[in-house]
Amino acid sequence: MSRLPFELFLALRYLRPKRTFVSVITLISIIGVMLGVAVLIVVISVMTGFDRQLRDRILGFNAHLRVQREVPMKDYESLMHTIASNRNVKAVAPYVVGPVLIETQPEHGSSRVLTPVIRGVDPKLEEKVSVLPSSIAAGSFDVKGKGLLVGETIADEMGIQVGDHVALYSVKDFEKWREAVKKGRDEASLAGDYVVKGIFDAGFYQFNNLFVICSLANAQDMYDLEDSVHGLSVALHDPEKADEVRRELARTLGADVSITTWWEENSDLLKAVVVEKNVMFVVVFFVMIVAAFGIMSTLITFVVQKTREIGMLKAVGATGGQVMGLFLSQSLMIGLLGVASGYGLGMLAVSYRNEFLHFMRRATGFELFPASIYGFNDLPALVVPGDILVICGGSLLICLLAGVLPAWSAGRLKPVEALRYE
């Protein structure tokens, strides 16, 4: 005799593969649950990984806090000492930032022109506040003299390689040219001749497509700042404390200083990712609801087919609760099989997601995850145990609830009605 409760024993016997219509429906129900769980795991893991990697890229390349004034900072060194004295501050570095026009100088053919943003940095301090020095894909982190660093996307678009010479025009150059024209002088400022010393890959398309880097002194000359800077980049030990540190620094530095956090600078993008993740979870979860209806239809068919057996069980003393337990156990078994197989399929898909994307790109020539739109070269993913628990637990609960109505109907069936035509 089996040691299993007879409800579970019969549920397992009913689920044995048979060449019947009900077995086909049962298999379809299991596949529906499997696909629903797998898709949920893939979608939520990718969205979580996208959010985490986006934050890491932003926090790695940009400042956690940005300190500015309406006018250039002349006393920035004393401000740096004041800011660095805060216990939550990791490092402080000055910067100059502004639009420029960059033009290639090829030996043959026509030149190419682009209008990126130049960032002037102190190379000794920059490695303390950003990952830029460690993000060099070609060449070296060298901005000495007329050295220039360009983003990987800019380099590809303009055909720039390490060692190439480029001309840089700042806004001040065009302003001087306009003033000269107004005064009737036919003259123009000469562009700065820079040498590409390195090509960086910040890991985020927008950064690679937007920035070129030079020394702080060169950027100050471009904008006639003398010994002033546009602002200070502040790196924190814990970026999540940015709001707290901003309030502390605001009291210390005074009202004439504007302090912006990394969240404020990128709030639209980060909020959009969070909202998209929540919406995707709700939308994809409807797949599980569809699978639950498949389970319900399977159990209803079982109840109709097993009416005689239910009547006999009731006749020999089985209670309505035991009959309900029989069909709920069957619903639970279908859910367990579907959730377990869906978990395995989902984790497999997450593990080999980029290999699949590369295969599709080679096979079809179509890029499913273009870096120009999403910002990353590879599809990020992060598996959070809490998310997996919610997905698997919620899916199993839905599968169990799907069997309540058929089980309740079977439990209410009277032996006389079940055996009337036997």
pLDDT at residue 368 tops 60: yes
What mean pLDDT is reported for the chain?
Answer: 81
Query: According to the model, what pLDDT value does residue 111 have?
Result: 82
- Can you tell me the mean pLDDT for 273-296? 78
pLDDT at residue 366 tops 50: yes
Query: According to the model, what pLDDT value does residue 205 have?
Result: 77
- Can you tell me the mean pLDDT for 279-289? 78
pLDDT at residue 6 tops 70: no
pLDDT bin (cut points 50, 70, 90) of residue 421 is very low
In the chain, what percentage of residues exceed pLDDT 90?
12
pLDDT at residue 86 tops 70: yes
Contact 41, 344 (CB under 8 A): no
In the chain, what percentage of residues exceed pLDDT 70?
81
Contact 11, 329 (CB under 8 A): yes
More confident residue, 269 or 279: 279
pLDDT at residue 240 tops 80: yes
Query: According to the model, what pLDDT value does residue 52 have?
Result: 83
pLDDT at residue 186 tops 70: no
pLDDT bin (cut points 50, 70, 90) of residue 372 is low
Domain definitions of the chain by residue range: 6-55+270-418, 63-262
pLDDT at residue 4 tops 60: no
Euclidean distance between CA atoms 229 and 245, whole angstroms: 22
Euclidean distance between CA atoms 147 and 159, whole angstroms: 18
Phi then psi for 319, rounded to 5 degrees? -85, 165
Cα 294 to the center of its chain, rounded Å: 33
Distances (CA, A) of 200 to 12, 40, 133, 300: 60, 35, 8, 62
Give 350's contacts (C-beta < 8 A, 6+ positions apart).
41, 42, 45, 46, 381, 383
Question: pLDDT tens digits, residue range 306-333?
Answer: 666 666 666 666 676 777 777 777 788 8
Q: Which two tokens stand for residue 109?
A: 């053919």
pLDDT at residue 232 tops 70: yes
pLDDT at residue 370 tops 70: no
Query: According to the model, what pLDDT value does residue 43 have?
Result: 86
Query: According to the model, what pLDDT value does residue 149 have?
Result: 93
Euclidean distance between CA atoms 192 and 195, whole angstroms: 10
- What pTM, to 2 d.p., does this model score? 0.69
Query: According to the model, what pLDDT value does residue 317 have?
Result: 64
Euclidean distance between CA atoms 175 and 75, whole angstroms: 26
pLDDT at residue 16 tops 70: no
